[in-house]
């Protein structure tokens, strides 16, 4: 195996470091190695970086899963925010199970339109790194596998024929799409082969090789990659199944849950910089868990200090490929989540679940903009230099061709909060800063990249003790933009023609100082607000913009036909409305009326913002100043009256289950067979995979029945409720690796002559992820059930079981909302969650109910209300549905539906989520909305549902693509029939 001596990295299930690999005796199922690959292909790589059309580039991306935001306009909103933050790549998982709810079905329509998403990526000006699985993990049910594959006769991630037949049609269709849109015909520059797989078995290697062969047979020539989980070595660095580029996971603050102590940073390596990097960082948060501390703790743990230290540390290790997991997390709406995770997949990401941005993305932008221009940094070697302060580390990345230096500074102990002053040596000879009484400063958890011997535009930067943000030529003047922390000393030295007498002017900030010597100018200043340093009276004029953090956070770069425009002030600048040569037509968002300042070509004689003219004045130094309007305030209605219906009809012995599925199979492909002689009770074997499941067991009593011995499994945090002839037996845990429960049967409930019915309602929390192979096939539902006498022996009475899940099973009836939207509640099967359902007195629903509301005994109550919204056009007003915490010892579980879409699960006694963002297009922001809530009460009596509210988080003017309601059907009696409340 040939490892890259320089690190190339990419964030996968976290952020990973890539190393190129050579293949041993390549087979037809493998791609070419680093040594033999075709370097004339549009996308290639070497020891230093990825290359596109022969030009070195940073692969600097953010992770976004389109299946967690089911609205194209909102997907475009996220993509534009990723692009505006300076990323050039979006990396995306695609979810096999999202597209395939039944064997033979692969659906790319509606919210599953992969081609439309790829086109949006290209329209946004991003590259795409595609990650289609078959396995993706992603903290989603079954790790992204199709749920029908749980019953396949074949071990996952092997070359067994049954497993190959399952995944191959999906990957084949994805490969066709990827070929159509791979670079240069589209934005796709890399494709991942499976995810986080380790094996020491030949059949596992053969599986990987077979997936690669599908891509090769489709004609795909962009690099294929894979990542090793848990910082481990990968078997796919050579031999059968080897990939082009290999990566490694790394989770610097852990792989969930969010930490309560937000100041706890890990120091994971005793040797921070090995000869080649096999561990990486960059995850700006973590997923949280049921009962966790909340996603805000993840956001606080991975704050701006974290981003400054860890992302620059990545560069110190030679990383030129990185993707942040997650840049936007989104929502586990419906039943997308796996058992440990709750509805929010916010991940503490820079773009939060409601699509708002803030200091995290502004901090990222500082580095991303720099990487967008600092091409010399894509090809560097490293050495460690000394500083004047022993606790400060200086990793110098040196370009072997241009000799440019990038001094990456941080405290050697990343957890240090020391306030350190020091100097460094540049060019192996000059100690900087040179100005007496000044110094470089690292205050606590901070990191800097100081550039030296760097050519940019028509200039040569000897060195700067302030970080470079970006540069660009406006008309005939070169602009260099720097950023630093307010109050810090700054020193910049640039070359000027020998013997010239340039004029230097300082504008704004604190008074600066100029020192001239032969062919150099030394500029000294203190970082404070925005300082302009204009160097004129030279044939190569230069303007240096120095901004403190607050200023730099609000600086946006927009590339135009006349060079870059630097825009200061707005909450977000998305780009241009058009390519007018005379009007700078900006597009973006504001959160308040905002002063703006623009440095742009004089060719632009007018400025517009979201299509409206902006009145501007010209400053004494040539910038344009104006104001852009803020948003109008909005309000949401109070949810004061509700219509209530009761279900759990299935608990009653009189319920008609004649059309239910009889559990009569005696064989299963599951590795855990049922007890000898008993039928298969696993719900997956009968085509029911998501949400709640009902079981009804019929038996004739012998009179000796005292207990029910039952084993039920619904995943971590799952529960089930049980009834005997309508009498409540209680609620019980049904986690993974379930053990049996002994449930007492009250004699008063038994019918000594005739049919008895045991009813079980299971809350399935989702299917397990893979680790090891076939873990995702862990059964859901009942495994066994028997009746016991007082002697704990079987009574002889046999139970005949029937079961029911979502309407239609694998033949789902609502393909628009997809396979994860509904489970087996009576109300879900009868369409109670849908707009247009006739919940009236005629069918026994109660109107005018106010919350909190005591709905009585254990069972399921439905609460429904309609409300209208009328938000201003051109505005974005993120709305959340808020569930109050119930008082007392209430134990209930909630599924709620907005306009028919299952958009969250609430478990008050676990928490931590009580606020649920609902995006526009699911929520009708200008019209009628239907909110339906199913409450599963687990207490024997006095189940009391707490109040529910709507809340607007913030308001923004909006310059993105206008959304439409996502098409989805309303109630149709021909499909759902007629039904009444119990």
User: What percent of the chain shows pLDDT beyond 90?
Assistant: 81
Tokens of 410: 């941080």
Q: What CA–CA distance (Å, rounded) separates 454 from 405?
A: 7
pLDDT at 270 over 80: no
Mean pLDDT for the stretch of residues 485-498: 96
Report DSSP state, residue 337: B
* pLDDT for 12: 31
Phi, psi at 484, each rounded to 5°: -155, 180
In angstroms, how far apart are the furthest CA atoms of the chain?
A: 113
* pLDDT for 230: 58
Task: Report which secondary-structure segment, H or E, holds 307.
Answer: helix 304-316
Tokens of 159: 């070359």
- The mean predicted confidence, pLDDT, of the chain is 91
> How many other β-carbons are positioned within 10 Å of the β-carbon of residue 516?
13
Task: Report which secondary-structure segment, H or E, holds 919.
Answer: none
The residues near 828 (Cβ < 8 Å, ≥ 6 apart) are 691, 692, 806, 807, 822, 934
* pLDDT for 772: 76
* pLDDT for 8: 36
* pLDDT for 735: 79
pLDDT at 899 over 90: yes
* pLDDT for 9: 38
The model's pLDDT over 701-738, given as tens digits with 9 standing for 90+, comes to 988 899 999 999 999 999 999 999 999 999 999 876 77
pLDDT at 16 over 80: no
The residues near 835 (Cβ < 8 Å, ≥ 6 apart) are 899, 900, 928, 930, 970, 971
* Residues 442-479: b if buried by 16+ CB within 10 A, e if exposed: beebbbbbbbbbbebeebbbbbbbbbbbbbbbbeebbb
| pLDDT confidence tier of residue 317, bands split at 50, 70 and 90 | confident
* pLDDT for 580: 86
| pLDDT confidence tier of residue 791, bands split at 50, 70 and 90 | confident
Contact criterion met (CB below 8 Å) for 514 and 522: yes
pLDDT at 386 over 80: yes
Q: What CA–CA distance (Å, rounded) separates 604 from 618?
A: 12
| pLDDT confidence tier of residue 887, bands split at 50, 70 and 90 | very high
Contact criterion met (CB below 8 Å) for 348 and 295: yes
Q: What CA–CA distance (Å, rounded) separates 460 from 452?
A: 9
SS3 state at 948: strand
List 254's β-bridge partners, or say none.
none
Report DSSP state, residue 14: S
Q: What does the DSSP assignment read for 244-278?
A: SEEEE---TT-SSS--S-TT------SSSS-SS--
The model's pLDDT over 333-358, given as tens digits with 9 standing for 90+, comes to 999 999 999 999 999 999 999 999 99
* pLDDT for 253: 67
Mean pLDDT for the stretch of residues 246-261: 72
| pLDDT confidence tier of residue 283, bands split at 50, 70 and 90 | low
Which of 222, 957, 915 lies closest to 570 in space, CA to CA? 957
Query: Between the CA of residue 64 and those of 127, 653, 906, what are the distances in Å?
Result: 13, 48, 24
* pLDDT for 281: 35
* pLDDT for 99: 98
Contact criterion met (CB below 8 Å) for 207 and 159: yes
Which of 603, 591, 684, 643 lies closest to 953 in space, CA to CA? 591
Mean pLDDT for the stretch of residues 217-244: 86
SS3 state at 432: strand
What's the first-to-final CA gap in the chain, in angstroms? 68
Query: Between the CA of residue 804 and those of 149, 167, 360, 502, 831, what are the distances in Å?
Result: 19, 27, 46, 83, 15
Contact criterion met (CB below 8 Å) for 155 and 161: no
* pLDDT for 184: 96
The model's pLDDT over 639-695, given as tens digits with 9 standing for 90+, comes to 999 999 999 899 999 999 999 999 999 999 999 999 999 999 999 999 999 999 999
pLDDT at 278 over 70: no
pLDDT at 132 over 80: yes
The residues near 235 (Cβ < 8 Å, ≥ 6 apart) are 198, 199, 200, 204, 205, 241
Residue 125, Ramachandran bin (φ over 0: left; ψ between -120 and 50: alpha; else beta)? left
List 482's β-bridge partners, or say none.
468, 546
* pLDDT for 701: 92
| pLDDT confidence tier of residue 111, bands split at 50, 70 and 90 | very high
Q: What CA–CA distance (Å, rounded) separates 322 from 280?
A: 9
Mean pLDDT for the stretch of residues 907-930: 98
The model's pLDDT over 415-450, given as tens digits with 9 standing for 90+, comes to 888 999 999 999 989 999 999 999 999 999 999 999
> How many other β-carbons are positioned within 10 Å of the β-carbon of residue 885?
11
Residue recorded with tokens 């900087």: 432
Contact criterion met (CB below 8 Å) for 464 and 492: yes
| pLDDT confidence tier of residue 245, bands split at 50, 70 and 90 | confident
Tokens of 90: 């979006």
Which of 189, 173, 175 lies closest to 109 in space, CA to CA? 173
* pLDDT for 310: 85
Phi, psi at 884, each rounded to 5°: -70, 150
Mean pLDDT for the stretch of residues 900-919: 97
Q: What CA–CA distance (Å, rounded) separates 941 from 630?
A: 51
Mean pLDDT for the stretch of residues 360-370: 97
The model's pLDDT over 926-964, given as tens digits with 9 standing for 90+, comes to 999 999 999 999 999 999 999 999 999 999 999 999 999
SS3 state at 146: coil
Q: What CA–CA distance (Å, rounded) separates 332 from 895?
A: 12
The model's pLDDT over 589-633, given as tens digits with 9 standing for 90+, comes to 999 999 999 999 999 999 999 999 999 999 999 999 999 999 999
What sign does the CA torsion over 612, 613, 614, 619 have? Answer: positive
pLDDT at 282 over 50: no
Query: Between the CA of residue 837 and those of 329, 650, 843, 864, what are the distances in Å?
Result: 32, 21, 11, 10
48-52, 117-121, 503-507, 751-755, range with the lowest pLDDT? 751-755
Which of 98, 84, 83, 91 lies closest to 65 in space, CA to CA? 91
Q: What CA–CA distance (Å, rounded) separates 535 from 547?
A: 17
307-316, 527-536, 942-951, range with the lowest pLDDT? 307-316
Q: What CA–CA distance (Å, rounded) separates 836 from 839?
A: 9
User: What percent of the chain shows pLDDT beyond 70?
Assistant: 92
* pLDDT for 272: 36
pLDDT at 31 over 50: no
Contact criterion met (CB below 8 Å) for 374 and 468: yes
- Angle value at C-alpha 699, between 693 and 701, nearest 5 degrees: 140
């Amino acid at each position: 195996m040939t490892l890259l001596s320089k690190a190339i990295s990419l964030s996968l299930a976290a952020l990973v470091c890539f190393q190129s690999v050579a293949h041993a005796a390549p087979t037809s199922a493998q791609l070419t190695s680093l040594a033999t690959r075709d370097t004339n292909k549009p996308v290639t790589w070497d020891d230093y970086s990825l290359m596109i059309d022969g030009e070195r580039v940073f692969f600097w991306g953010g992770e976004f899963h389109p299946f967690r935001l089911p609205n194209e306009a909102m997907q475009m909103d996220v993509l534009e925010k990723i692009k505006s933050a300076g990323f050039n790549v979006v990396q995306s998982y695609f979810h096999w199970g999202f597209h395939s709810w039944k064997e033979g079905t692969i659906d790319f329509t509606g919210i599953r339109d992969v081609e439309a998403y790829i086109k949006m990526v290209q329209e946004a000006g991003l590259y795409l790194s595609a990650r289609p699985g078959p396995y993706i993990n992603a903290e989603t049910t079954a790790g992204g596998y199709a749920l029908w594959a749980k019953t396949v006769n074949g071990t996952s991630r092997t070359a067994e024929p049954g497993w190959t037949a399952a995944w191959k049609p999906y990957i084949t269709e994805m490969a066709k799409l990827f070929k159509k849109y791979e670079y240069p015909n589209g934005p796709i520059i890399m494709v991942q082969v499976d995810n986080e797989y380790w094996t020491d078995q030949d059949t596992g290697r053969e599986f990987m090789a077979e997936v690669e062969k599908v891509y090769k047979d489709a004609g795909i020539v962009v690099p294929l990659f894979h990542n090793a989980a848990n910082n481990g070595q990968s078997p796919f660095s050579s031999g059968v199944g080897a990939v082009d580029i290999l990566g490694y996971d790394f989770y610097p603050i852990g792989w969930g849950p969010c930490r309560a102590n937000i100041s706890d940073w890990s120091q994971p390596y005793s040797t921070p910089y090995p000869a080649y990097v096999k561990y990486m960082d960059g995850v700006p948060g973590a997923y949280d868990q049921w009962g966790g501390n909340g996603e805000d703790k993840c956001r606080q743990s991975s704050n701006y200090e974290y981003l400054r230290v860890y992302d620059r540390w990545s560069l110190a290790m030679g990383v030129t490929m990185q993707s942040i997991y997650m840049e936007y997390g989104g929502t586990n709406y419906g039943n997308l989540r796996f058992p440990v995770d709750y509805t929010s997949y916010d991940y503490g990401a820079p773009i939060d679940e409601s699509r708002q941005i803030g200091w995290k993305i502004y901090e990222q932008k500082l580095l991303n903009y720099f990487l967008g221009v600092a091409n010399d940094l894509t090809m560097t070697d490293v050495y460690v230099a000394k500083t004047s302060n022993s606790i400060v580390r200086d990793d110098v990345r040196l370009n072997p061709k241009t000799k440019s230096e990038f001094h990456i500074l941080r405290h050697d102990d990343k957890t240090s909060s020391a306030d350190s002053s020091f100097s460094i040596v540049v060019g192996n000879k000059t100690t900087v800063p040179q100005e007496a009484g000044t110094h470089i400063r690292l205050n606590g958890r901070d990191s800097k990249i100081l550039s030296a011997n760097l050519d940019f535009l028509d200039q040569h930067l000897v060195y700067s003790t302030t970080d470079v943000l970006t540069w660009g030529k406006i008309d005939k003047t070169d602009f260099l933009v720097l950023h630093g922390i307010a109050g810090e000393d700054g020193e910049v030295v640039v070359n000027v023609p020998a013997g010239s007498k340039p004029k230097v002017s300082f504008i704004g900030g604190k008074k600066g100082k100029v020192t001239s010597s032969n062919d150099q100018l030394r500029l000294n200043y203190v970082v404070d607000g925005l300082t302009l340093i204009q160097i004129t009276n030279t044939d190569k004029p230069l303007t240096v913009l120095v901004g403190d953090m607050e200023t730099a956070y609000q600086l946006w770069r927009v590339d135009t036909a006349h060079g870059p425009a630097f825009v200061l002030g707005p909450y977000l600048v998305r780009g241009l409305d058009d390519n007018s040569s005379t009007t700078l037509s900006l597009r973006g968002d504001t959160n308040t009326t905002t002063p703006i300042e623009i440095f742009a070509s004089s060719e632009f004689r007018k400025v517009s913002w979201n299509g409206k003219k902006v009145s501007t004045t010209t400053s004494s130094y040539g910038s344009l100043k104006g104001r852009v309007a803020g948003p109008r305030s909005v309000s949401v209605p109070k949810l004061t009256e509700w219509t209530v219906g009761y279900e759990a009809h299935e608990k009653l012995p009189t319920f008609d289950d004649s059309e239910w599925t009889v559990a009569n199979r005696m064989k299963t492909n599951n590795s855990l067979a049922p007890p000898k002689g008993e039928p298969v009770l696993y719900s997956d074997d009968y085509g029911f995979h998501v949400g709640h499941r009902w079981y009804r067991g019929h038996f004739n009593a012998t009179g000796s029945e005292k207990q029910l011995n039952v084993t039920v499994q619904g995943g971590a945090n799952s529960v089930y409720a049980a009834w005997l002839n309508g009498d409540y037996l209680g609620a019980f845990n049904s986690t993974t690796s379930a053990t049996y429960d002994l449930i007492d049967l009250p004699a008063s409930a038994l019918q000594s002559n005739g049919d008895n019915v045991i009813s079980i309602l299971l809350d399935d929390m989702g299917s397990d992820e893979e680790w090891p192979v076939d873990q995702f096939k862990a059964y859901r539902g009942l495994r066994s059930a028997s009746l016991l006498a007082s002697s704990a022996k079987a009574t002889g009475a046999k139970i005949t079981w029937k079961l029911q899940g979502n309407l239609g099973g694998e033949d789902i009836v609502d393909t628009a909302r997809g396979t994860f939207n509904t489970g087996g509640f009576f109300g879900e099967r009868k369409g109670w969650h849908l707009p247009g359902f006739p919940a009236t007195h005629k069918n026994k629903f109660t109107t005018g109910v106010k919350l909190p509301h005591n709905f009585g005994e254990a069972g399921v109550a439905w609460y429904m209300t309609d409300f209208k919204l009328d938000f201003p056009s051109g505005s974005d007003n993120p709305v959340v549905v808020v569930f109050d915490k119930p008082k007392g010892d209430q134990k209930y579980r909630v599924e709620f539906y907005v306009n028919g879409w299952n958009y969250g699960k609430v478990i008050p006694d676990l928490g931590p989520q009580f606020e649920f963002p609902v995006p526009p297009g699911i929520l009708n922001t200008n019209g009628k909305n239907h909110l339906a809530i199913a409450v599963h009460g687990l207490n024997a009596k006095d189940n009391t549902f707490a109040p529910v509210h709507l809340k607007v988080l913030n308001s923004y003017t909006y310059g993105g693509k206008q959304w439409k309601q996502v098409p989805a059907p309303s109630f149709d009696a021909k499909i759902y029939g007629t039904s009444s409340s119990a």
